[in-house]
Every structure is written in structure tokens, then in C-alpha cells.
Amino acid sequence: MMMPHASRPATEPFRGHEEHTQRADTLRAACRDIASVVILTAEGLPSAADRELERPVAERTASVASGLYGLARAGGELAEDAEEISEPRNVVVEYRSGLFLVVMEAGENLRLAVTTVPDADLGSVVYEMTKLSSTLSMEVAARAAATSALPR
């Protein structure tokens, strides 16, 4: 049995990239059907989560979301025509309880994962996620362009 780290309580919220945390909080507030938000790296590490989410849940959500997205990418390779292979747009898991887990790309090496309340309006959830994903994608691209423009 693993014991929690002695210096921090087991229910500590995840503390990540502050700007991403603010965006996660904004997304959660924008749609009443969203229960939690995690922004993660392509490697499955949480970058940020909404402030209501506890650290262990944010880390587990990031891990699960990364695995699901990876499986969806691998599934795209099953297409007979190699030119049809593409990145997944959304990965959606619907649970018997009516909850959803939705994962989408949010820029170079970033993913956005959301869990919903039971019987959520999935269209509204995905719409709000897409808006944040687009914003994050533009920010990542701008940072990459600024970094590549620096003298070496």
C-alpha cells in the first residue's frame, strides 16, 4: 500500500502551468456539463487541471486520456488507404452511468481531457473544448515561432 507523501495532504489540488490552469477553470465554468478538465502533454503528464480537481485524479485522468488518444491514433493506421490515416479529432468514451470522457488534441504535444456530468449535452461540451483547443493550438504555435526566430 502506497502512503501519501508526508508533506502534502492526499487531497491536494493539482498545481500546474498557471495560465493553463486558468483556462481549465474558464472551460469548466463555461459549460455546466463539464465535471473536470485536464490539459496534458502528449506523453501523458498533466500540465494543468481545473482547481477543483485533486492531484491523484488529475494524474490518473491524464494517464488514461493519453492512452486512449494513443489507441485512437493506432486505430487510424488500420485504414486500408495510407492517405486516409489522420489524427483523431475526438476520442469519446461513454460510460453506463451516463458520464463521458472526451479527449482531443490541443496543439503540438498537448491534449485536452474533460469528464462530464451524467447525461451531458455532448455537443456543448465538445464545442467549448474545441474553442479552448484552438486557443491553445495558436498559443503553442506562436511560442514555437517566437522560439525559432531567436538568434542562435
Average pLDDT of the chain to the nearest whole number: 86
Model confidence at 152, in pLDDT bands (50, 70, 90)? low
Q: Given strand 34-41, what is the order of strands in its sheet? A: 46-49, 34-41, 110-116, 100-105, 91-94
The reply to whether 130 falls in a domain is yes
In a domain, 92, yes or no: yes
Query: Would you say residue 3 lies in a domain?
Result: no
Query: Does residue 71 fall inside a structural domain?
Result: yes
pLDDT digits (tens, 9 = 90+) for 49-107: 999 999 999 999 999 999 999 999 888 887 766 566 677 889 999 999 999 999 999 98
pLDDT confidence of residue 77: 80
CATH for 54: 3.30.450.30
* Domain with 93 in it: 18-147
Chain centre to alpha carbon of residue 47: 9
Q: Which helix (H) or strand (E) holds 63?
A: helix 55-76
Establish if 5 belongs to a structural domain: no
Q: Give the whole-angstrom CA distance, residue 58 versus residue 47.
A: 9
